[in-house]
Amino acid sequence: MTDKFEPHIVGFLCNWCSYAGADLAGTSKLQVPSSLTPIRVMCSSRVDPVLVLTALLRGADGVLIAGCHPGDCHYDEGNYYTRRRFATLKKVVESLGLEHDRLCLSWISASEGQRFADIITEFTEKIKKMGPNPMKKNTGL
């Protein structure tokens, strides 16, 4: 194995809950692995499965989708659709020969700064154990 593998994880965070929770981790000065690059969307339901696949096929070691807890979605039911899409995505990702655990779906509320930090830490550890994304050499997308 080469020296320390530092994963690159893309995180889609919804503006109202999970992005706010991530900000709270910041204002609380909690330590969060720098593996995550957050991308803000208005609702987790905006996360197009093709975007997730693009990320993975371009070599992202992990993709996180985070939204409001079920029932709390700022746009009523958006996160229920996220959940459904995620279930299908996992199967698609497997069919591409990738480990479905490279995908993570989490519900993080605006007051859960610590939880955000914990989830990113856990996910990073998991990805480290899995090793780098075998698709890393693809840059055509």
Partner 1 sequence: MNNKNSNSDILVIGAGIAGIEASLMLSKSDRKVHLIEKNSYTGGMSIKFEEVFSNMECSTCMISPKQQDLLQDKNINLIMLATVEDVKGSPGDFKVKIHKKPRYVDMDNCIGCTACFDPCPVSIKNEFEEGLSTRKAIYIPCAGALPNVPCIDTNNCLRFQGKDCQACQDACMFNAIDFNQKDEKIELNVEAIIVATGYKLFDPNNTPHYGYKKINDVYTALEFERLYASNGPTQGKIQLKNGKTPKSGAIIHCIGRDKQGYCSSVCCMYSLKFNHYLKSKIPEIQIFELYTDLCIPGKSHQKFYEKIKQTGTTLIRATDIKITQQGQKIAITHTDEKGKKRNIIVDMVILSPAIVPNTDASQLANILGITCDDLGFYKEENQNISSVVTPKPGVFIVGCSQGPKNIQETVSQANAAVGKILSASQEGING
Partner 2 sequence: MDRKIGVYICECGPNIAEKIDIDKVIKAVSPLDDVSIATRYKLLCSEQGKKFLEEQIKKNGLTHLVVAACSPRDHQHTFMTICENAGINPFLFQLANIREQCAWITENKEEATNKAIRLTKAAIGRVRYHVPLEKKEIESNPDVLVIGGGIAGMEASLHLASPQRKIYLVEKTSQLGGVVTNLEKTFPDMQSCPKIIQDKIDQVTNNDNIKVYTNCEVTEILGFFGNFEGTVTQNNNEDKTTVGFNVGAVVLATGCALFDPTDDPNYGYGKFDNVITALEFEKMNLAGNIRLKNGKTPKSVAIIHCVGRDKKGYCSEICCMYSIKFVRYLQNKIPEIKISNFYTDLCLPEKSYQKFYEQSRGKKNDFIRIDSIKITNPGNKLTITHNDEQGNKKSHGVDMVILSPALEPSVDTKKLAEFTRISQDDEGFFAEEHEKLGPVTTSTEGVYIAGCAQGPKSIQNTLIQAEAVAGKILSSLIPGKKIEPEVKVAHISESFCIGCKTCLTVCSYGVITFDSTKKVCVANEVICRGCGNCVAACPSGAASLKHFTFNQLRQELKEAVL
Smallest gap from Cβ 59 to partner 2, in A, equals: 5
Q: Which is nearer to partner 1, 56 or 116 (CB)?
A: 116
Which partner from the list partner 2, partner 1, none does 66 bind, CB cut-off 5 to 8 Å by kind?
Answer: none
Does residue number 105 form part of the binding site for partner 2 (CB under 8 A)?
no
Q: What is the DSSP string of the chain?
A: --S-----EEEEEETTTHHHHHHHHHHTT----TTEEEEEES-GGG--HHHHHHHHHTT-SEEEEEEPPTT--TTSSHHHHHHHHHHHHHHHHHHTTS-GGGEEEEE--TT-HHHHHHHHHHHHHHHHHH-S-GGGG----
CB of 49 to partner 2, least distance (A): 7
Rounded Cα distance, 3 and 5, in Å = 6
Query: Which positions from 68 through 87 interact with partner 2, judged by CB under 8 A?
Result: 74-78, 81, 85
Q: Which amino acid is at 36?
A: L
Judged by CB under 8 A, which stretch of 35-43, 64-72, 76-84, 128-136 contacts partner 1? 64-72
Residue 43 lies near partner 2 (rule: CB under 8 A): yes
Regarding 34 and contact with partner 1 (CB under 8 A), the answer is no
According to CB under 8 A, which residues from 11 to 30 bind partner 2? 15, 19-20, 22-23, 25-27, 29-30
Structure tokens at 119: 């989830």
Segment 91 to 130, residues that bind partner 1, using CB under 8 A: 109-115
Q: Which residues are at the interface with partner 1 (CB under 8 A)? A: 16-17, 20, 24, 27-29, 68-69, 71-72, 74, 109-115
